[in-house]
Amino acid sequence: MAYERSENSGAGEDADTSALALKILVAGGFGVGKTTLVGAVSEIRPLRTEERLSRAGELVDDTGGVDQKTTTTVAMDFGRITIRSGLSLYLFGTPGQDRFWFLWDELAQGALGAVVLADTRRLEDCFPAVDYFEHRKIPFVVAVNCFTGARTYGAHDVSRALDLDRRTPVVLCDARDRDSGKEVLIRLVEYAGRMHTARLLDSVG
């Protein structure tokens, strides 16, 4: 399921309240800022499964462009954010390295949509995530994490470079900033909602 509803009632309440929780994936290449984004927006202490990079990992992990990175996610990140009253997002950050991609299918079960983080210095690193969600018809937005010192490209330029469907949103963001991350998530929920509605109408048309 892409969401869960919960109803709570108690003494003194005028009416039952219904909450909607949506599952969102945060994906992208190695070192692109997935853990940072989940941690920045989460209203709870985020769950992290990070391990220190080892010499053995140097043979399989390309750290070019992220030389200062010392840890890596080996399972997932998890956080939660309330977008508005009655609507919460459960965020699942995926591991970025090829050898952990077998976890993606489990994490993707029941997801409403995904955020694909991109770094313009290593744009090719997000190709696998884009392909993954396109092939599984999971709605996604591309969020360009604007690293300090990196050349700035417009959303249209990034969309063309990734050969995206023209409807797929591309947004610029700062993964460290809560408000910036929240805007990305709102954009995704709106887009995924339109996509799911269109598919429902097509199925009954």
In tens, the pLDDT along 131-179 reads 999 999 999 999 999 998 888 899 999 999 999 999 999 999 999 999 9
- Kindly report the length of the chain: 205
Identify the pLDDT of residue 148: 86
Which of 23, 100, 32, 113 lies closest to 65, judged by CA? 32
* Residue percentage of the chain with pLDDT more than 70: 75
| Residue found by looking up tokens 């993964």 in the block | 175
pLDDT digits (tens, 9 = 90+) for 77-114: 999 999 989 999 999 999 866 666 778 899 999 999 99
86: DSSP letter: T
User: What value does the mean pLDDT of the chain take?
Assistant: 84
